[in-house]
Structure 1
């Protein structure tokens, strides 16, 4: 389990780095948007490429930020119900959700979108707007985003299993996953009737 927790920690660090980079993508999109609006209103000039790069940056932030959102427990949950369950039940629900729904969805989306990216790359597909941008980089965000989300799903799966085995505390308890990085001693009696 120690190797898997170290792997989970590496994935978490990589996801955190990507999440921090996404903030800068949003900042760049805001600057470009403001600059484009000012140029259109004051100088009566504009560019479709500038409009499209805003869309590309927003798409990048959305797709690449999904894994960091998962890491920080920011995705929508049904906490009204799940918050009432014992830790062990919540971990089992998360494990089933990751294995049965999330990982297959990630696989499907990567498998579905990769041919589209390759076709756009080889054909040199360009936006139909005058002065528009090439399309394959924005298409590539789909498999890249779901690939990162799949990696983070593996990390979350490792943490849920480790929690069930009593190796780490509840990774969702603090709202972030820092507790999962520290390996806790295994309790002597896992069936003590506690909230595990």
Structure 2
């Protein structure tokens, strides 16, 4: 049973990592859009609501699509006063309870409540009320998708911590180890690119 659950957890982790690594490039796109919009506004005294809306669409995408990756890296907000003095077993138990009673119910509820909002927007071809604004359904779709991915990652984290408590897996990766691993992956990908 644990082998199947840990394999599922690894699969979820791969999805969260790939989505997060891809979505983080949207920060660069947002900076370019923002700089371009500001430059056009100051140089030519003109602007477009579409570019302004694009900035917050990109911010929403980064926030919602990178949240599962943040949870995977153990970089999410936590109350260190509570977790700082706990043993690994205590921290794992606290994470399981937090996941089961707070993270998953909240994520699933937001996902369920936001789906009809997206569907309504999509069916009506909702447009921004601002002149020259963008269509609304793509940004509204990000809400259920982002919280679905966050729910999946929450399940993965619960599986890893339960496996640790059962003695069949090591304690889930620490923040420092995750950063070291990410830097190593980045260096490896750059080296592969240089060799080509």
The TM-score with structure 2 as length reference comes to 0.87
CA RMSD of aligned residues (A): 1.4
Deviates more, 1:81-90 or 1:127-136: 81-90
| Contact 2:68–2:153 (Cα < 8 Å) also in 1 | yes
Check the 8 A contact 1:171/1:177 in 2, yes or no.
no
Aligned 8 A contact 1:32 1:54 in 2: yes
Q: Give the whole-Å Cα distance in 1 for the aligned partners of 2:61 and 2:96.
A: 28
Q: How many residues get paired? A: 178
Q: Structure 1 pair 174/133, CA: closer, same or farther in 2 (3 Å)? A: closer
Structure 2 residue 19 is the aligned partner of structure 1 residue 18: yes
Aligned to 1:106: 107
Aligned partner of 2:6 in structure 1 is 5
Following superposition, the deviation at residue 143 of structure 1 comes to: 0.5
Structure 2 distance, partners of 1:102, 1:113, is 16
> Which runs of at least 4 in structure 1 moved beyond 6 Å after TM superposition?
none
Contact kept? 1:73, 1:176, Cα under 8 Å:
no
Larger Rg: 1
Which runs of 5 or more residues in structure 2 are unaligned? 180-196
Q: If each structure's helix is expressed as a fraction of its own residues, which one has the higher value?
A: 2
Length-normalised TM-score, structure 1:
0.87
2: CA distance, partners of 1:157 / 1:48: 43
Checking the alignment, whether the CA contact within 8 Å between 2:16 and 2:68 is kept in structure 1 is yes
The whole-number CA distance in structure 2 between the counterparts of 1:7 and 1:41 is 52
Q: Is the 8 A contact 1:103 1:150 kept in 2?
A: yes
For residues 34 and 111 of structure 1, do their structure 2 counterparts lie closer, same or farther at Cα, with a shift above 3 Å needed?
same
Q: Which runs of 5+ in 1 are unaligned?
A: 179-196
Shift of residue 167 of structure 1? 1.4
Separation of aligned partners in 2, 1:93 and 1:133? 43
Q: Which residue of 2 is the match for residue 70 of structure 1?
A: 71
SS at 1:132 equivalent: coil
Q: Which residue of 2 aligns with 1:159?
A: 160
What does 1:140-151 correspond to in 2, within 5 Å? 140-151=141-152
Superposed displacement of residue 80, structure 1 = 2.7
Distance of 1:141 and 1:10 partners within structure 2: 21
